[in-house]
């Protein structure tokens, strides 16, 4: 290669990298809009499958049918997502269900969510804080607005990337324990 050819090759390489970076940026909004467009005005059903890692309980629920939340499904779901240490039940934020459904759509599979933690009573949260600095003092778990999950047979790292692209609520990734936190709070992310 002559000296005259070198700058053109460097320019092409820079352009290639810029093109790749622009393509990566375009993926995130497209992916997020794909999931959210499925939710807007969708007359069909939204179903979720769960298994609780601590209790062994399983639950399959169609929480949305023909344009409305199904209140008869929310009661068993709230019980399933209870603080299993105290058996205390709260009404979980329904927006959390939509986030899980969106992630299922983005993962392109009917998922089984393995639930590590959902609602936490203030007593349970305080107990967990004593053994881990990663438990927030004012955790959204105590408001029924957060859940720690993974999907059976799906990379938790990939799930985290989908959640980050979706730009809905908080996303925490805990690689060592292989789970992800999602919540309906403000958009933010962290690695534990």
Domain ranges of the chain: 5-191
Q: Which residue has the higher pLDDT, 5 or 132?
A: 132
Contacts of 162 (CB under 8 A, 6+ apart): 31, 103, 106, 107
For residue 13, the number of C-alpha atoms closer than 13 Å in the C-beta half-sphere is 6
Average pLDDT along the chain: 82
pLDDT of residue 110: 84
Strands 170-174 and 188-191 come out as parallel
Question: ∠ at Cα 144 (99, 85), nearest 5°?
Answer: 120
Where residue 138 falls among pLDDT bands split at 50, 70, 90? confident
Burial 41-55 (b: 16+ CB within 10 A, else e): eeeeebebebbbeee
Residues 113 and 50: beta-carbon distance below 8 Å = yes
pLDDT of residue 40: 59
**Among the listed ranges 27-41, 143-157, 160-174, which one has the minimum average pLDDT value?**
27-41
- The tokens for 190 are 């962290």
- Give the Cα separation of 141 and 81 in Å (integer): 10
């Amino acid at each position: 290669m002559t000296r005259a050819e070198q700058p053109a090759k460097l320019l092409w390489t820079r352009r290639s990298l810029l093109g790749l970076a622009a393509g990566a940026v375009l993926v995130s909004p497209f992916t997020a809009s794909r999931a959210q467009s499925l939710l807007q005005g969708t007359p069909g059903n939204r179903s979720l499958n769960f298994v609780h890692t601590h209790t062994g309980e399983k639950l399959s629920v169609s929480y949305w049918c023909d344009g409305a939340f199904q209140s008869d499904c929310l009661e068993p779901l709230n019980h399933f997502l209870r603080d299993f240490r105290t058996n205390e039940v709260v009404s979980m934020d329904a927006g959390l269900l939509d986030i899980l459904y969106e992630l299922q759509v983005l993962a392109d599979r009917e998922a089984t969510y393995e639930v590590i933690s959902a609602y936490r009573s203030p007593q349970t949260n305080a107990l967990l804080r004593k053994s881990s600095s990663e438990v927030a003092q004012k955790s959204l778990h105590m408001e029924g607005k957060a859940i720690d999950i993974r999907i059976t047979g799906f990379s938790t790292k990939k799930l985290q990337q989908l959640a980050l692209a979706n730009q809905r609520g908080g996303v925490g990734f805990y690689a060592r324990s292989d789970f992800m936190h999602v919540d309906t709070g403000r958009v933010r992310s962290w690695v534990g």
